[in-house]
Amino acid sequence: MSRPLRVLEIRSVRGTGGGPEKTILLGAAQADASRYQVTVCYLRDARDEVFGIDRRASVMDVDYVEVVERHSMDVSVWPALRRLVRDRQIDIVHSHEYKTDLLAFLLSRWDGVRILATVHGWTGHTLKERRLYYPADKRLLARFPRLVAVSSEIKRELVRHGATPELITVVLNGIDHRAFCRDRSRESQCRSMWNLHPGDLVLGAVGRLEPQKRFDVLVDVFGQLFAADPRLRLLIAGEGSLRPALEQQIRARGLDKVCRLVGQISDMSAFHHALDLFVQSSDYEGTPNSVLEAMAFGTPVVATSAGGTAELVSHGVHGLIVPTNQPDRLRRAIDQAFKSGGETRERAARARHRIEGELSFEARMRAVEAIYDELMRGPDQRVAA
């Protein structure tokens, strides 16, 4: 093309969002403007009082727009999106969850744009999502010309619902290894932010306080470990609907002095510099950005095999991976990580090395940009999945 390719990334989310927001915003900020002009558009519910994507986009100097909806079924977003596509002369609409998947599909029919969806997974837990929205989304995605799955597990689920395997490319999430790196000289200062002492052994976890993260399991496992070693501490970063229930669980087990919900963390670097071990307890994930961040910071990882986690972390090589829904295995892996310090540090170093190479954000961007180029060449010039 004689001009840069124009991409519209669209997504709908409430609150501060999650891992996909980091990927979308960083991708837009780091795109080569001479080849790709990326506009990020979020559908923002007017009733959402804690929405924070706009502030993050401003800090990153991203071309960002919002389409405000009065409620989740507000049809006025449709003409607003069509105007945006026409005014920006958009070539490709890139969607990221079930609502914007449908809108992208309709825009391809009405306005002739090419479409691509990145499938981060189906993490909601409401009955309507599980019984209606997610099954419909999977069937709709089978009609897209190209799909990006953030894990092989998600690709298999798409194929089960009719998508053509050759049209799905697995692209693991990546991370900016230059922005996420450890500085050992900061550790003491960062630990003091949470009143941690030099002899404390600190476990950390990050994620929305929602059912699929299984922080309730992590709290129980931590309680068992703490009973054997009172030096242990647990910090859980994030917000969500389960905060009251988790607070009650922590108090009921007498852990309120050593287990803390620290809320939404804006400085993830400071958080990781306070940790000795990162733990993921989820029973469902796409490709977890929180694990990538731990790997980049050199924080040793113990994680469940949920979603694409085992594609990021090879068991025994970059960290310790245990099956989902097996608390005893998770407890033993955490205990092993602390007791075998030298091996744990070696795994963390290998994880960091992997982040600098195949899991760098640059590698992810090149893979997605290749799909953009393919879409503009036409269906007969497909890149192999």
Q: How is the chain split into domains, by residue range?
A: 5-174+360-377, 184-356
Contact 24, 40 (CB under 8 A): yes
For residues 270 and 126, the model is more confident at: 270
Report CA 211 to chain centroid distance, whole Å.
16
CATH architecture of structural domain 5-174+360-377: 3-Layer(aba) Sandwich (3.40)
Residue 382 has pLDDT above 60, yes or no: no
Tell me the C-alpha to C-alpha distance, in Å, between residue 288 and each of 23, 295, 358: 11, 11, 16
CATH 3.40.50.2000 correct for 184-356: yes
163-177 pLDDT tens trace: 999 999 999 999 998
Tell me the C-alpha to C-alpha distance, in Å, between residue 232 and each of 200, 246, 265: 6, 18, 21
DSSP states along 333-366: HHHHHHH-HHHHHHHHHHHHHHHHTTTBHHHHHH
pTM of the model: 0.85
% of residues, the chain, pLDDT over 90: 85
Least-confidence region, from 7-11, 36-40, 107-111, 262-266? 262-266
Same fold yes or no, 5-174+360-377 and 184-356? yes
Query: Mean pLDDT, to the nearest integer, of 257-263?
Result: 97
**CA end-to-end span of the chain:** 24
Separation CA 156–CA 158 (nearest Å):
5
Q: How many Cα atoms sit within 13 Å of 5 on the Cβ side?
A: 23
Separation CA 44–CA 287 (nearest Å):
24
pLDDT score of 378: 76
Phi, psi for residue 352 in degrees, rounded to 5: -60, -40
Bridge partners of 169, per DSSP, are 148
Kindly report the CA angle at 23 between 209 and 281, in degrees rounded to 5? 30
pLDDT score of 1: 67
Separation CA 266–CA 293 (nearest Å):
13
Close Cβ partners of 377 (under 8 Å, ≥ 6 residues apart): none
Least-confidence region, from 115-119, 244-248, 306-310? 306-310
pLDDT score of 2: 83
Phi, psi for residue 195 in degrees, rounded to 5: 55, 40
80-106 pLDDT tens trace: 999 999 999 999 999 999 999 999 999
181-214 pLDDT tens trace: 999 999 999 999 999 999 999 999 999 999 999 9
Contact 296, 355 (CB under 8 A): yes
pLDDT score of 266: 83
* Six token digits for residue 64: 């960002």
292-339 pLDDT tens trace: 999 999 999 999 999 889 999 999 999 999 999 999 999 999 999 999
Close Cβ partners of 339 (under 8 Å, ≥ 6 residues apart): none
Kindly report the CA angle at 307 between 263 and 296, in degrees rounded to 5? 60
**Sheet of 201-206, strand order:** 259-263, 232-237, 201-206, 277-280, 301-304, 320-322
Residue carrying the six token digits 């390719």? 5
Residue 14 has pLDDT above 90, yes or no: no
Residue 125 has pLDDT above 80, yes or no: no
42-52 pLDDT tens trace: 999 999 988 98
Contact 260, 271 (CB under 8 A): no
